[in-house]
Structure 1
Amino acid sequence: MTPVPDTRSQIMNAFGEQLAAAGYPGISLVGVARSVGIQKPSIYHHFPGGKEELYAAVALRFIEQLHDRLVTALAAEGPTDHKLRVLAVVAAEHSTRAISFEQRIYDALDHVSDETRGTVSQTYVRDILDPVVALFAHAVEVGEVVGEPWFLMNAFLHLARATDLVNTPDGAAQVVALFLDGARPRQPVL
Protein backbone atom coordinates (compact mmCIF):
# COMPACT_ATOMS: atom_id res chain seq x y z
CA MET A 1 0.00 0.00 0.00
CA THR A 2 1.35 3.43 -0.98
CA PRO A 3 1.63 5.84 1.95
CA VAL A 4 -0.48 9.00 1.75
CA PRO A 5 1.74 12.08 1.49
CA ASP A 6 1.58 14.49 4.41
CA THR A 7 -0.35 17.74 4.00
CA ARG A 8 2.78 19.76 3.21
CA SER A 9 3.72 17.34 0.41
CA GLN A 10 0.14 17.31 -0.88
CA ILE A 11 0.17 21.12 -1.05
CA MET A 12 3.49 21.05 -2.91
CA ASN A 13 2.21 18.41 -5.33
CA ALA A 14 -0.98 20.38 -6.05
CA PHE A 15 1.03 23.57 -6.51
CA GLY A 16 3.39 21.74 -8.88
CA GLU A 17 0.46 20.48 -10.93
CA GLN A 18 -0.93 24.01 -11.26
CA LEU A 19 2.52 25.37 -12.09
CA ALA A 20 2.92 22.78 -14.85
CA ALA A 21 -0.54 23.46 -16.24
CA ALA A 22 -0.83 27.24 -16.00
CA GLY A 23 2.54 28.74 -15.07
CA TYR A 24 3.19 30.84 -11.99
CA PRO A 25 0.75 33.66 -12.79
CA GLY A 26 -2.05 31.12 -13.29
CA ILE A 27 -1.70 29.51 -9.86
CA SER A 28 -4.57 29.99 -7.43
CA LEU A 29 -3.87 29.16 -3.81
CA VAL A 30 -7.63 28.66 -3.39
CA GLY A 31 -7.43 26.05 -6.16
CA VAL A 32 -4.41 24.44 -4.54
CA ALA A 33 -6.22 24.27 -1.21
CA ARG A 34 -9.35 22.87 -2.85
CA SER A 35 -7.43 20.12 -4.64
CA VAL A 36 -5.81 19.07 -1.35
CA GLY A 37 -9.10 19.26 0.56
CA ILE A 38 -8.05 22.02 2.95
CA GLN A 39 -8.84 25.70 3.43
CA LYS A 40 -6.52 28.37 2.02
CA PRO A 41 -5.31 29.49 5.50
CA SER A 42 -3.90 25.99 6.00
CA ILE A 43 -1.46 26.67 3.18
CA TYR A 44 -0.06 29.60 5.17
CA HIS A 45 0.37 27.32 8.19
CA HIS A 46 2.79 25.20 6.13
CA PHE A 47 4.14 28.02 3.92
CA PRO A 48 3.92 31.34 5.80
CA GLY A 49 5.42 33.14 2.80
CA GLY A 50 2.49 32.05 0.64
CA LYS A 51 2.75 31.51 -3.08
CA GLU A 52 6.40 32.53 -3.38
CA GLU A 53 7.60 30.32 -0.54
CA LEU A 54 5.60 27.45 -1.97
CA TYR A 55 7.13 28.05 -5.40
CA ALA A 56 10.63 27.99 -3.89
CA ALA A 57 9.93 24.73 -2.06
CA VAL A 58 8.56 23.08 -5.22
CA ALA A 59 11.39 24.39 -7.40
CA LEU A 60 14.09 23.29 -4.96
CA ARG A 61 12.49 19.85 -4.58
CA PHE A 62 12.47 19.48 -8.38
CA ILE A 63 16.12 20.55 -8.59
CA GLU A 64 17.06 18.08 -5.85
CA GLN A 65 15.28 15.21 -7.60
CA LEU A 66 16.85 16.12 -10.96
CA HIS A 67 20.25 16.44 -9.27
CA ASP A 68 19.92 12.93 -7.83
CA ARG A 69 19.21 11.47 -11.29
CA LEU A 70 22.00 13.55 -12.79
CA VAL A 71 24.57 12.38 -10.24
CA THR A 72 23.58 8.79 -10.99
CA ALA A 73 23.96 9.41 -14.73
CA LEU A 74 27.36 11.05 -14.33
CA ALA A 75 28.57 8.25 -12.06
CA ALA A 76 27.89 5.66 -14.77
CA GLU A 77 30.92 3.56 -15.55
CA GLY A 78 32.41 3.89 -18.97
CA PRO A 79 33.68 6.45 -21.42
CA THR A 80 32.29 9.94 -21.89
CA ASP A 81 29.98 8.92 -24.74
CA HIS A 82 28.30 6.35 -22.47
CA LYS A 83 27.83 8.95 -19.72
CA LEU A 84 26.38 11.33 -22.29
CA ARG A 85 23.86 8.69 -23.43
CA VAL A 86 22.65 8.26 -19.86
CA LEU A 87 22.65 12.03 -19.38
CA ALA A 88 20.61 12.53 -22.58
CA VAL A 89 17.86 10.31 -21.19
CA VAL A 90 17.82 12.25 -17.90
CA ALA A 91 17.76 15.58 -19.76
CA ALA A 92 14.89 14.49 -22.01
CA GLU A 93 12.71 13.05 -19.22
CA HIS A 94 10.89 16.31 -18.57
CA SER A 95 10.71 17.57 -22.13
CA THR A 96 7.78 15.51 -23.38
CA ARG A 97 5.19 18.22 -22.77
CA ALA A 98 4.92 21.35 -24.92
CA ILE A 99 6.24 23.36 -21.98
CA SER A 100 8.29 21.34 -19.55
CA PHE A 101 8.02 21.68 -15.79
CA GLU A 102 11.63 22.81 -15.76
CA GLN A 103 10.71 25.63 -18.15
CA ARG A 104 7.77 26.62 -15.92
CA ILE A 105 10.16 26.87 -12.96
CA TYR A 106 12.48 29.07 -15.01
CA ASP A 107 9.64 31.28 -16.31
CA ALA A 108 8.39 31.84 -12.75
CA LEU A 109 11.67 33.53 -11.83
CA ASP A 110 10.30 36.70 -13.46
CA HIS A 111 7.51 36.80 -10.86
CA VAL A 112 9.38 36.27 -7.60
CA SER A 113 11.64 38.36 -5.39
CA ASP A 114 15.34 38.78 -6.05
CA GLU A 115 16.08 36.62 -3.01
CA THR A 116 13.97 33.70 -4.24
CA ARG A 117 15.25 34.13 -7.80
CA GLY A 118 18.83 34.03 -6.50
CA THR A 119 18.26 30.96 -4.33
CA VAL A 120 16.55 28.94 -7.07
CA SER A 121 18.96 30.06 -9.81
CA GLN A 122 22.11 29.46 -7.78
CA THR A 123 20.90 26.03 -6.67
CA TYR A 124 20.06 25.09 -10.27
CA VAL A 125 23.47 26.19 -11.54
CA ARG A 126 25.34 24.46 -8.69
CA ASP A 127 23.37 21.19 -8.69
CA ILE A 128 22.42 20.76 -12.37
CA LEU A 129 24.65 22.75 -14.68
CA ASP A 130 28.01 22.70 -12.87
CA PRO A 131 28.28 18.87 -12.77
CA VAL A 132 27.63 18.68 -16.52
CA VAL A 133 30.16 21.44 -17.15
CA ALA A 134 32.68 19.44 -15.10
CA LEU A 135 32.06 16.40 -17.33
CA PHE A 136 32.75 18.47 -20.42
CA ALA A 137 35.77 20.17 -18.82
CA HIS A 138 37.25 16.73 -18.23
CA ALA A 139 36.41 15.64 -21.80
CA VAL A 140 38.13 18.79 -23.14
CA GLU A 141 41.13 18.21 -20.87
CA VAL A 142 41.68 14.66 -22.15
CA GLY A 143 41.10 15.69 -25.76
CA GLU A 144 37.79 13.87 -26.36
CA VAL A 145 36.05 17.10 -27.38
CA VAL A 146 37.00 20.66 -28.15
CA GLY A 147 35.27 23.82 -27.07
CA GLU A 148 34.35 25.80 -24.01
CA PRO A 149 32.76 23.50 -21.39
CA TRP A 150 29.81 25.83 -20.63
CA PHE A 151 28.98 26.07 -24.33
CA LEU A 152 29.27 22.30 -24.76
CA MET A 153 26.99 21.71 -21.75
CA ASN A 154 24.40 24.15 -23.04
CA ALA A 155 24.46 22.78 -26.59
CA PHE A 156 24.23 19.18 -25.42
CA LEU A 157 21.37 19.73 -22.96
CA HIS A 158 19.39 21.73 -25.54
CA LEU A 159 19.90 19.04 -28.16
CA ALA A 160 18.88 16.25 -25.76
CA ARG A 161 15.77 18.15 -24.67
CA ALA A 162 14.75 19.25 -28.16
CA THR A 163 14.44 15.86 -29.78
CA ASP A 164 12.15 12.95 -29.18
CA LEU A 165 14.86 10.62 -30.50
CA VAL A 166 16.05 10.04 -26.94
CA ASN A 167 12.81 8.18 -26.22
CA THR A 168 13.39 5.64 -29.01
CA PRO A 169 15.59 2.52 -28.97
CA ASP A 170 19.17 3.69 -29.49
CA GLY A 171 17.88 7.28 -29.64
CA ALA A 172 20.21 8.51 -26.91
CA ALA A 173 23.15 6.99 -28.79
CA GLN A 174 22.05 8.80 -31.97
CA VAL A 175 21.80 12.14 -30.12
CA VAL A 176 25.23 11.65 -28.54
CA ALA A 177 26.77 10.64 -31.87
CA LEU A 178 25.31 13.74 -33.53
CA PHE A 179 26.62 15.95 -30.76
CA LEU A 180 30.07 14.37 -30.62
CA ASP A 181 30.39 14.55 -34.40
CA GLY A 182 30.41 18.33 -34.02
CA ALA A 183 32.41 18.47 -30.77
CA ARG A 184 35.30 16.07 -31.47
CA PRO A 185 38.69 17.46 -32.46
CA ARG A 186 39.26 17.67 -36.20
CA GLN A 187 42.39 16.69 -38.02
CA PRO A 188 43.85 19.67 -39.85
CA VAL A 189 43.38 19.58 -43.60
CA LEU A 190 46.73 19.66 -45.41
Structure 2
Amino acid sequence: MSTTESGRTPVRRSRREEYSESTRSALVGSAIELFAEHGYADTSLDAIASAARVTKGALYHHFPGGKKVLFGAAFDQVEQDVHERLIAEVAAVGGTPWDAARAALRAFLDICLEPVYRRVIWQEGPHVMGFGEWWQREERHSLGLIAAMMEKLMDAGQIERLPIDPLARTISGALVAAATAMVVAPDPQRVRSEFERVIARLLQGLRPLPD
Protein backbone atom coordinates (compact mmCIF):
# COMPACT_ATOMS: atom_id res chain seq x y z
CA MET A 1 0.00 0.00 0.00
CA SER A 2 1.41 3.42 -0.92
CA THR A 3 2.09 6.08 1.66
CA THR A 4 1.34 9.79 1.70
CA GLU A 5 4.03 12.50 1.53
CA SER A 6 3.99 12.65 5.33
CA GLY A 7 4.94 8.96 5.44
CA ARG A 8 1.59 7.85 6.82
CA THR A 9 -0.35 5.02 5.24
CA PRO A 10 -3.76 6.33 4.07
CA VAL A 11 -6.71 4.73 5.78
CA ARG A 12 -8.90 2.76 3.41
CA ARG A 13 -12.61 2.85 3.99
CA SER A 14 -14.57 -0.34 3.66
CA ARG A 15 -17.30 -0.70 1.07
CA ARG A 16 -19.80 -0.62 3.89
CA GLU A 17 -18.43 2.70 5.10
CA GLU A 18 -18.49 4.12 1.59
CA TYR A 19 -22.07 2.95 1.09
CA SER A 20 -23.08 4.44 4.44
CA GLU A 21 -21.52 7.76 3.50
CA SER A 22 -23.19 7.80 0.08
CA THR A 23 -26.56 7.00 1.69
CA ARG A 24 -26.19 9.83 4.17
CA SER A 25 -25.12 12.20 1.40
CA ALA A 26 -28.14 11.21 -0.71
CA LEU A 27 -30.48 11.83 2.22
CA VAL A 28 -29.01 15.25 2.96
CA GLY A 29 -29.06 16.22 -0.72
CA SER A 30 -32.69 15.18 -1.10
CA ALA A 31 -33.62 16.98 2.11
CA ILE A 32 -32.02 20.19 0.86
CA GLU A 33 -33.97 20.04 -2.40
CA LEU A 34 -37.31 19.29 -0.74
CA PHE A 35 -36.93 21.74 2.14
CA ALA A 36 -36.02 24.44 -0.38
CA GLU A 37 -38.96 23.63 -2.64
CA HIS A 38 -41.72 22.87 -0.13
CA GLY A 39 -40.48 24.15 3.22
CA TYR A 40 -39.88 22.19 6.41
CA ALA A 41 -43.51 21.77 7.48
CA ASP A 42 -44.65 20.40 4.12
CA THR A 43 -41.77 17.98 3.63
CA SER A 44 -42.22 14.48 5.00
CA LEU A 45 -39.55 11.96 5.90
CA ASP A 46 -41.23 9.53 3.51
CA ALA A 47 -40.72 12.00 0.66
CA ILE A 48 -37.06 12.51 1.57
CA ALA A 49 -36.38 8.77 1.77
CA SER A 50 -38.15 8.22 -1.54
CA ALA A 51 -36.20 10.99 -3.26
CA ALA A 52 -32.93 9.56 -1.90
CA ARG A 53 -34.00 6.04 -3.01
CA VAL A 54 -33.47 4.56 0.44
CA THR A 55 -35.78 3.04 3.02
CA LYS A 56 -37.21 5.02 5.87
CA GLY A 57 -35.34 2.66 8.17
CA ALA A 58 -32.07 3.76 6.55
CA LEU A 59 -33.07 7.37 7.13
CA TYR A 60 -33.64 6.76 10.83
CA HIS A 61 -30.35 4.83 11.03
CA HIS A 62 -28.47 7.96 9.95
CA PHE A 63 -30.77 10.48 11.59
CA PRO A 64 -32.36 8.84 14.65
CA GLY A 65 -33.51 12.25 15.84
CA GLY A 66 -35.86 12.53 12.87
CA LYS A 67 -36.71 15.45 10.65
CA LYS A 68 -35.30 18.25 12.79
CA VAL A 69 -31.90 16.56 13.02
CA LEU A 70 -31.95 15.97 9.26
CA PHE A 71 -32.79 19.63 8.74
CA GLY A 72 -29.76 20.57 10.81
CA ALA A 73 -27.56 18.41 8.58
CA ALA A 74 -29.09 20.00 5.48
CA PHE A 75 -28.54 23.48 6.95
CA ASP A 76 -24.88 22.72 7.68
CA GLN A 77 -24.32 21.29 4.20
CA VAL A 78 -25.77 24.35 2.49
CA GLU A 79 -23.61 26.62 4.64
CA GLN A 80 -20.51 24.51 4.00
CA ASP A 81 -21.10 24.67 0.25
CA VAL A 82 -21.42 28.46 0.42
CA HIS A 83 -18.32 28.70 2.60
CA GLU A 84 -16.31 26.77 -0.01
CA ARG A 85 -17.69 28.88 -2.85
CA LEU A 86 -16.70 32.10 -1.08
CA ILE A 87 -13.18 30.83 -0.43
CA ALA A 88 -12.87 29.87 -4.10
CA GLU A 89 -14.18 33.28 -5.14
CA VAL A 90 -11.60 35.05 -3.00
CA ALA A 91 -8.80 32.82 -4.28
CA ALA A 92 -9.78 33.48 -7.90
CA VAL A 93 -9.70 37.25 -7.50
CA GLY A 94 -6.09 37.60 -6.40
CA GLY A 95 -4.99 41.18 -5.88
CA THR A 96 -4.94 42.80 -2.47
CA PRO A 97 -6.86 41.72 0.63
CA TRP A 98 -9.13 44.71 -0.04
CA ASP A 99 -9.93 43.38 -3.52
CA ALA A 100 -10.65 39.96 -2.01
CA ALA A 101 -12.94 41.40 0.68
CA ARG A 102 -14.97 43.35 -1.87
CA ALA A 103 -15.25 40.27 -4.09
CA ALA A 104 -16.40 38.16 -1.14
CA LEU A 105 -19.04 40.77 -0.26
CA ARG A 106 -20.41 40.77 -3.81
CA ALA A 107 -20.37 36.98 -3.99
CA PHE A 108 -22.16 36.56 -0.66
CA LEU A 109 -24.91 39.03 -1.58
CA ASP A 110 -25.38 37.28 -4.92
CA ILE A 111 -25.68 33.90 -3.17
CA CYS A 112 -28.34 35.38 -0.88
CA LEU A 113 -30.53 35.75 -3.98
CA GLU A 114 -30.35 32.02 -4.73
CA PRO A 115 -33.58 30.16 -3.82
CA VAL A 116 -32.02 27.26 -1.90
CA TYR A 117 -29.84 29.46 0.31
CA ARG A 118 -32.65 31.93 0.95
CA ARG A 119 -35.22 29.29 1.85
CA VAL A 120 -33.16 26.84 3.90
CA ILE A 121 -30.89 29.24 5.78
CA TRP A 122 -32.85 32.46 6.14
CA GLN A 123 -36.53 31.51 5.94
CA GLU A 124 -36.76 28.04 7.41
CA GLY A 125 -33.69 28.00 9.65
CA PRO A 126 -34.79 30.40 12.42
CA HIS A 127 -38.28 28.90 12.60
CA VAL A 128 -37.22 25.26 12.62
CA MET A 129 -34.28 25.58 15.01
CA GLY A 130 -35.34 28.52 17.11
CA PHE A 131 -33.38 31.75 17.02
CA GLY A 132 -30.71 30.71 19.54
CA GLU A 133 -29.59 27.53 17.81
CA TRP A 134 -29.90 29.11 14.36
CA TRP A 135 -27.70 32.05 15.38
CA GLN A 136 -25.07 29.76 16.91
CA ARG A 137 -24.88 27.67 13.76
CA GLU A 138 -24.77 30.73 11.54
CA GLU A 139 -21.89 32.22 13.53
CA ARG A 140 -20.05 28.91 13.53
CA HIS A 141 -20.10 28.89 9.74
CA SER A 142 -19.42 32.57 9.09
CA LEU A 143 -17.44 34.21 11.88
CA GLY A 144 -14.18 32.39 11.22
CA LEU A 145 -14.16 33.35 7.56
CA ILE A 146 -15.01 36.98 8.31
CA ALA A 147 -12.41 37.20 11.08
CA ALA A 148 -9.71 35.75 8.82
CA MET A 149 -10.54 38.30 6.13
CA MET A 150 -10.44 41.19 8.61
CA GLU A 151 -7.10 39.94 9.97
CA LYS A 152 -5.61 39.96 6.46
CA LEU A 153 -6.90 43.49 5.88
CA MET A 154 -5.35 44.68 9.16
CA ASP A 155 -2.05 42.88 8.53
CA ALA A 156 -1.85 44.55 5.12
CA GLY A 157 -2.53 47.94 6.68
CA GLN A 158 -5.69 48.33 4.60
CA ILE A 159 -7.98 48.85 7.57
CA GLU A 160 -7.37 50.16 11.07
CA ARG A 161 -6.33 47.55 13.63
CA LEU A 162 -9.29 46.87 15.89
CA PRO A 163 -10.35 44.07 18.29
CA ILE A 164 -11.06 41.19 15.93
CA ASP A 165 -14.05 39.55 17.65
CA PRO A 166 -16.30 42.64 17.85
CA LEU A 167 -15.16 43.68 14.38
CA ALA A 168 -16.04 40.29 12.85
CA ARG A 169 -19.37 40.23 14.68
CA THR A 170 -20.22 43.73 13.47
CA ILE A 171 -19.55 42.81 9.84
CA SER A 172 -21.44 39.54 10.34
CA GLY A 173 -24.42 41.47 11.70
CA ALA A 174 -24.47 43.69 8.63
CA LEU A 175 -24.42 40.65 6.34
CA VAL A 176 -27.21 38.97 8.30
CA ALA A 177 -29.27 42.16 8.02
CA ALA A 178 -28.74 42.15 4.26
CA ALA A 179 -29.73 38.50 3.88
CA THR A 180 -32.86 38.76 6.01
CA ALA A 181 -33.95 41.96 4.28
CA MET A 182 -33.67 40.28 0.88
CA VAL A 183 -35.85 37.39 2.04
CA VAL A 184 -38.87 39.62 2.67
CA ALA A 185 -38.24 42.32 0.05
CA PRO A 186 -40.59 42.63 -2.95
CA ASP A 187 -37.51 43.58 -5.00
CA PRO A 188 -34.58 41.62 -3.51
CA GLN A 189 -32.21 42.66 -6.30
CA ARG A 190 -32.67 46.31 -5.40
CA VAL A 191 -32.15 45.57 -1.72
CA ARG A 192 -29.04 43.57 -2.56
CA SER A 193 -27.55 46.53 -4.44
CA GLU A 194 -28.39 48.93 -1.64
CA PHE A 195 -26.78 46.74 1.00
CA GLU A 196 -23.66 46.29 -1.09
CA ARG A 197 -23.30 50.06 -1.25
CA VAL A 198 -23.88 50.50 2.49
CA ILE A 199 -21.61 47.66 3.67
CA ALA A 200 -18.86 48.71 1.26
CA ARG A 201 -19.08 52.21 2.75
CA LEU A 202 -18.81 50.76 6.26
CA LEU A 203 -15.68 48.88 5.23
CA GLN A 204 -14.30 52.04 3.62
CA GLY A 205 -14.75 53.80 6.94
CA LEU A 206 -12.36 51.29 8.54
CA ARG A 207 -9.48 52.35 6.29
CA PRO A 208 -6.66 54.23 8.02
CA LEU A 209 -6.78 57.99 7.84
CA PRO A 210 -3.95 59.60 5.85
CA ASP A 211 -1.16 61.11 7.93
| TM-score, normalised relative to structure 1 | 0.65
Distance 1:57 1:156 in 2: 23
Distance 1:165 1:83 in 2: 23
Q: Which moves more between the two structures, 86-95 or 97-106?
A: 97-106
Alignment of 1:80-91 (within 5 A): 80-87=97-104, 88-91=106-109
2:94 corresponds in structure 1 to 77
Identify which of 38, 44, 51 aligns with 2:67.
51
Paired AA for residue 131 in structure 1: L
Alignment of 1:146-161 (within 5 A): 149=167, 150-156=169-175, 158-159=177-178
Paired AA for residue 89 in structure 1: A
Distance 2:87 2:154 in 1: 20
Distance 2:173 2:109 in 1: 11
RMSD: 4.0
Distance 1:106 1:61 in 2: 16
Paired AA for residue 16 in structure 1: I
1:132 corresponds in structure 2 to 146
Distance 1:156 1:94 in 2: 10
Q: Which 5+ residue runs of structure 1 have no aligned equivalent?
A: none
Identify which of 33, 58, 82 aligns with 1:42.
58
2:204 corresponds in structure 1 to 184
Residue 164 of structure 1, CA deviation: 2.9
Conserved? CA contact 1:91–1:160, under 8 Å? yes
Distance 1:127 1:37 in 2: 30
Distance 1:181 1:146 in 2: 17
Q: 1:144 to 1:18 in 2, by over 3 A?
A: same
Q: Which 5+ residue runs of structure 2 have no aligned equivalent?
A: 1-20, 183-187
2:120 corresponds in structure 1 to 101
Residue 19 of structure 1, CA deviation: 1.4
Distance 2:25 2:47 in 1: 16
Relative contact order (C-alpha < 8 Å, sep 6+): which is higher? 1
Distance 2:126 2:27 in 1: 20
Conserved? CA contact 1:69–1:90, under 8 Å? no
Percent identity over the alignment is 20
* Alignment size in residue pairs: 173
Paired AA for residue 83 in structure 2: H
Conserved? CA contact 1:92–1:166, under 8 Å? no
